[in-house]
Amino acid sequence: MIRFEVFDEDYIPERILFREKQMERIAGNLTPILYNSRPINMLCLGTVATGKTTVVKYITSQIDTLTVYVNCQLNKSKQQVFLKIFERLYNFTPPRGVSFQKVLMKTLKKIVEDNKILLLILDDLNFMGDENVKDIINTILKAHEEVDGFKAGIIGIANDVGYASRLSDLSLFHPDEIFFPPYDRGEIEVIIRDRIRLAFGFGAISDEALNKIVDETFKYSDLRYGINLLKLSALRSYKNGRDKIELDDVIDSIEDSMTSFFRKALKALSNEEIDVLKAIYTSDVEKTSDLYSLIDTKIRNMSYTKFYEILRKLESLRFIDTISKFERGLQRIVVRRFEADLILKAISEM
């Protein structure tokens, strides 16, 4: 019996390794809840697949309070976020035509009546517009002025390590910033091994196959991709009637695993973001300034600010890296992280 579900995206592993410090710090910040007092607000920051969502979900599931998890990539407006909280409280959607103000007040009052503290988790924050994020946070932090006794805490999660500066003009929000560093090769190996143990028990993979998965994961520094590669490799060996993953299974699964990984990441992009990504992967232009002129003149009109925002997003989704170089003055250079063929294929299949 192979437990394939341990490879699923939302599976919370039995052991979350190498994140003790972050877990202790989050738990510490939440302690006031036990004494019916507001927790410390937090921002969990780290690049893709560093365990932020997993850790926050795990810790908050252990605390008895009104926890509402919102993914800001899917719920992009203030209205959508508060509707989620409303639905959690009342177990129904408010009738059509009802005003936002009414939904908000009913939500806040019910939380106070129930004598609860709201713990709002805003995941993938950097995919929501900054103005919306600020509006939501301000509404929560000022709500006690409208409804006496209202208490809440916010855990924001973003995969842009410098995200806090985007909220620096929020005078009421001073979150504790908790960083999730990328895993090194040794840590990746232990995590992958642990996942194999959970799925199959011991000995279900050859050393060469394991090494290959760890190398691939480390090369792209993305554990999510690594776990998916492990899943596809396990499936392949299973289909061939074997109970051990061999090197061939891994090599054979790399391309599919990569394409499915791109497809998912591409869904997070708007049309203009895709255009920039395509331009990067089809032209030989490296300097960001040249890339900007290429896009603005040949592909679509775009402000410089918008262009930089898009580069930042593509970087935080790990499609590209940007580096600085001195070449007749300081230059920003865009570096592709993947083979062009694979990316362009995934775009064409969208």
Ligand X SMILES: Nc1ncnc2c1ncn2[C@@H]1O[C@H](COP(=O)(O)OP(=O)(O)OP(=O)(O)O)[C@@H](O)[C@H]1O
Output phi, psi for 333, to 5 deg.
-120, 140
Distance in Å, CB of 319 to ligand X, minimum: 13
Q: How far is CA 191 from CA 26, 130, 162, 210, 219, in A?
A: 21, 34, 27, 11, 16
Binding partner of residue 17 among ligand X, Mg ion, none, CB cut-off 5 to 8 Å per kind: ligand X
Nearer to Mg ion, 108 or 175 (CB): 175
Paired tokens of 160:
């842009």
Binding partner of residue 19 among Mg ion, ligand X, none, CB cut-off 5 to 8 Å per kind: ligand X
107 binds Mg ion (CB under 5 A): no
A 10 A CB-CB count for 208 gives 14
In the region spanning residues 41 to 70, those forming contacts with Mg ion, defined by CB under 5 A, are 53
Binding partner of residue 204 among ligand X, Mg ion, none, CB cut-off 5 to 8 Å per kind: none
247 binds ligand X (CB under 6 A): no
For residues 106 and 86, is the Cβ–Cβ distance under 8 A? Answer: yes
Q: How far is CA 321 from CA 50, 246, 285, 302, 324, in A?
A: 17, 32, 14, 21, 10
d(Cα 225, Cα 260) in Å, to the nearest integer? Answer: 9
Output phi, psi for 65, to 5 deg.
-155, 180
Distance in Å, CB of 53 to Mg ion, minimum: 3
Nearer to ligand X, 151 or 318 (CB): 318
Can you tell me which of 33, 66, 140, 191 binds ligand X, judged by CB under 6 A? 191
- Provide the b/e sequence for 219-255 (b: ≥16 CB within 10 Å): ebbbbbbbbbbbbbbbbbbeeeeeeebbbbbbeebbe
227 binds ligand X (CB under 6 A): yes
Nearer to ligand X, 151 or 231 (CB): 231
Nearer to Mg ion, 32 or 182 (CB): 182
Distance in Å, CB of 10 to ligand X, minimum: 8
Contact residues: ligand X, CB under 6 A: 11, 13, 16-19, 46, 48-54, 159, 191, 223-224, 227
